[in-house]
Structure 1
Amino acid sequence: MSAHDVVVGIVADAVKEFLNRLCECQRLMETHARDIELANVADAVTKALSEGREGEFGPVVVKIHKKFLGRREVRAALYGREVTVDELLAEISKAKSRAAWLAADCSEQALVEALYRFEDRYLIDVVQRNFSSFRKACKGETPHIDFGEAPAHVIEGTVRGVREYLANHGGGS
């Protein structure tokens, strides 16, 4: 086995590892889509609750019922299910934590940083330039990759890595 073949194999392994992480993040984003949606409206909901305002905020509905002697009762619904304010705030807190975790661990930057240990700037450049195209592999499709000025070992390794990833995950050719 030549040195070129060894380096191509290292690049292929790096690409497979990157695709595994990318696709796992895609699955997590889909699994936690409701948390992300709730986290996106969290500030508006908590502000409405603190101000005693009614409103619809994505999956959350806040209703204020006036009671005897000017007292108010706050009612909330989350995804159509009535919840107490405490339950709603607990769900918002959990959703914000999950969304923050996903934003940090699954950001494009975090996924690309995992390739830094391979110390191949051409591979990193190819991944950064084609990030959205690589997402197609998560659906079992072969991504179209713009290699630019990448050397042969990066091109061959990337193609092999994508092909092996797709073969092991039920897609592509």
Structure 2
Amino acid sequence: MYITGWRLGAVSAQDVVVGIIAEAFVDFVRRLCECERLREAHSRDLELAKVADEVTRAVSEGREGEFGPVVVKVQKKFLGRREVRASLYGREVDVDTLLAELSKARSRAAWLNSDCSEGALIEALYKYEDRYLIEVAQRNFDKFKKLCSGEVPQVDFGEAPGHVVEGVVRGVKTYLSGHGAGN
């Protein structure tokens, strides 16, 4: 006997829910790993954005200093004038180029910090309306990053029910078997 395409007894409700949790988890980890790759690819922008305000202030005040990947030098000129020179990652650049790079870095960092924040990534799980899955993701967020390099994390499930535990375990296996790092 078939009901809407399902044969009675072939798939239990528990199996369906576990499958949904596993798929949700795999989607979550894919996005998490994509964000980790983006953070790595834009690590210079993130580093530069951290010092952007200090560098901008130093340039406007004509103050020398080393700010992470940026070095600001001031040369005194005739009649009290000064010339500000800068180097970015060891390469000499003019001030306008430096300020443009700072602006780009701030923009990229803001985008990454927004779209790839823990809250934004976990929010994608809200549509599954399983608070236990969300709690497991929050509690183990940093541990799940290990999946991106192919490692199996030690997950703290807390008081999560069996369907969440089984779904996450199945999701980990699915991700690592065919959708892991590099795929």
The equivalent position to 2:151 in structure 1, one of 132, 141, 149, is 141
The CA deviation at 1:170 is 4.8
Is the CA contact 1:105–1:111 (under 8 Å) kept in the aligned structure 2? yes
Q: What is the aligned residue count?
A: 171
Residue number in structure 2 paired with 1:81: 91
Distance 2:171 2:104 in 1: 36
Please say if 1:14 is aligned against 2:14.
no
Residue number in structure 1 paired with 2:166: 156
- The alpha-carbon distance between structure 1 residues 40 and 26, as it changes in their structure 2 partners (threshold 3 A), is same
Deviation digits for residues 101-123 of structure 1, max 9, x if unmatched?
Answer: 01101111111101000000010
The equivalent position to 1:47 in structure 2, one of 57, 62, 74, is 57
Residue number in structure 2 paired with 1:26: 36
- Residue 150 of structure 2 aligns with an amino acid whose one-letter code is G
Is the CA contact 1:75–1:83 (under 8 Å) kept in the aligned structure 2? yes
Distance 1:46 1:132 in 2: 33
Deviation digits for residues 33-87 of structure 1, max 9, x if unmatched?
Answer: 0000000000000000111101100000011111111111110100000111000
Secondary structure at 2:46's aligned position in 1? helix
Is the CA contact 2:148–2:180 (under 8 Å) kept in the aligned structure 1? no
Is the CA contact 1:140–1:169 (under 8 Å) kept in the aligned structure 2? no
Residue number in structure 2 paired with 1:109: 119
Question: Runs of at least 4 residues of structure 1 off by over 6 A?
Answer: none
Secondary structure at 1:61's aligned position in 2? strand
Secondary structure at 1:165's aligned position in 2? helix
- Residue 107 of structure 2 aligns with an amino acid whose one-letter code is S
Residue number in structure 2 paired with 1:130: 140
The equivalent position to 1:2 in structure 2, one of 9, 12, 26, is 12
Distance 1:42 1:170 in 2: 35
- Residue 166 of structure 1 aligns with an amino acid whose one-letter code is L
- Percent of pairs identical after alignment? 71
- Residue 126 of structure 1 aligns with an amino acid whose one-letter code is V
Distance 2:110 2:180 in 1: 31
For normalisation by structure 1, the TM-score amounts to 0.97
Q: Any gaps of 5 or more consecutive residues in structure 2?
A: 1-10
- The alpha-carbon distance between structure 1 residues 13 and 170, as it changes in their structure 2 partners (threshold 3 A), is closer
- The alignment's C-alpha RMSD in Å is 0.9
Residue number in structure 2 paired with 1:59: 69
Distance 2:170 2:179 in 1: 14
